[in-house]
Amino acid sequence: MTSSGSGTSDIDPFGKPVEEAPVIEINTAIDLRPDLSELGIEETDRGICEDTYENRHILRRAKLNWIPVYATNGVPTGLIQAISQEMATQKRIISLGEKRPLLVDPNNRNSDYLTGYDLIAEEATDYLVPPWVIGATRAWMKEQDSPVKSSKRQPAVLPTRCAAIKDDGIRCQLWSSGRLQDDSLCRVHLRSIKHRPGDDIERARQKLTQAAPYAVDVLETMMEFAESEPVKLKAATEILDRAGIRGGVELDTNVTLDVRPAASIIAERLNRLAVNAADAAARLHEAGVEITSNEVEAADPKIVDAEIVEEASPEDPGKE
C-alpha cells in the first residue's frame, strides 16, 4: 500500500524545526472501500482500521483481504486497509486493460496472450512482459531457425498465459512456462495444487506469528486486571520468560566420588564368572551333554593318537 503527501514543519522555542505527522493519503476511492462498521470493526477511515489480531480475525471470517498502510516517510502506521472482492476485481480489470495489446482477442479479457514472433513484434512487450518470458520466446525462435539435434536436450517451449480462472471469473494474468508438467499453470497456481508436506507447518507458523501481538496483549491485560494473584504472577512470569529474563537457577558444584578397592572389583568379577560357568554347566547337563576327559584332551593342541591313512596309488585306485 503506497501513500503520498508531505508534512509541514514548524519552529520550536529552541529554533529547531518540528516535523508534523505525515499525511496519509489512500488512493482507493471511498465508494469502493468496504464498510467495516457493519462487521463490528472501529474504523479510522472508510475501510481503514487498526492492525490487531481481532480485526484480522474478523476480516478473515468475512473473506476480506488487507494490506498495510504506510506513512509518507515509509514508516508503518499500524493501520491496514481492507480489500473487498469488488476492489480486487476492479484492480484486475484495470491491470488487464493495460495488457490489452498482448491479448489475441482484445475484446475477450480471458483471451490467450500473444506468443512467438507476434509477441516479440509487439511494442508493448518491452514493458508489459517479464524478462524471462522474452528470453524463453527468443530461445524458441532461435531453435526454430537452427534446430538442435540432440536426444538429451529437451526442445524449447513457448510461455503462455496461465489457464486458471479465479473466483471472479477473470483468467489469471500471470505466465506459464509452457512445459507439459506445468499443465499451463503459473507458479502461484502450481504451488496451490502441488501440496507439499511442509506447507501445513509453514501455514501454522505464519498464524502463530500473526497471533503473537494479541497474545502479548492478553498477557498484559491479565497481569494488570486479573483478580487472582496467581494468575497475575503467571502472566508476569510468562512475559518475562518470553522476553528472555528468567529466574536464577541454583547450581550445586559438589562432586561425590565413590572409590572402591581393586581387590573388591576383581572378586566381584570372579564371582560373576563362577556363577556364569555353573549356569552353563547346568544347561549342558539338562541337554544330556557330558564333558569327558577325552574331550578335554582334544582341546590340547598336542597330538595324542592318530591313525595312518594310505593314499591310493595310480596302479591300484581301489586300494586305500
Q: For 257-283, what is each residue's pLDDT tens digit?
A: 777 788 888 888 888 888 888 888 888
Do 87 and 32 contact (CB within 8 A), yes or no?
yes
Considering only residues 310 and 74, tell me which one the structure prediction assigns the higher pLDDT: 74
Question: For 80-124, what is each residue's pLDDT tens digit?
Answer: 888 888 888 888 888 888 889 999 998 898 999 999 899 999 888
Q: d(Cα 35, Cα 224) in Å, to the nearest integer?
A: 34
| Cα–Cα distance, 188 to 182 (Å, whole number) | 11
CA dist., res. 81 & res. 88, Å (int): 12
Query: Taking the CA atoms of the chain, what radius of gyration do you get in angstroms?
Result: 42
Extended beta strands in the chain, E state: 9-11, 17-19, 43-45, 48-50, 65-70, 76-83, 160-161, 175-176
pLDDT tens-digit profile of 212-229? 877 888 888 888 888 888
pLDDT at 195: 55
Give the pLDDT confidence score for residue 131 in this predicted structure: 92
pTM: 0.45
The answer to whether the Cα torsion of 113, 117, 118, 119 is positive or negative is positive
| Cα–Cα dist 164/174, whole Å | 9
Q: Which residues contact 309 (CB under 8 A, 6 or more apart)?
A: 320
Query: 75 is written with which cell numbers?
Result: 514508516
Q: What is the pLDDT of residue 2?
A: 43
Cell of 52: 490487531
Give the integer Cα–Cα distance in Å for 144 and 137: 11
Q: For residue 184, is pLDDT > 50?
A: yes
CB 162 within 8 A of CB 173: yes
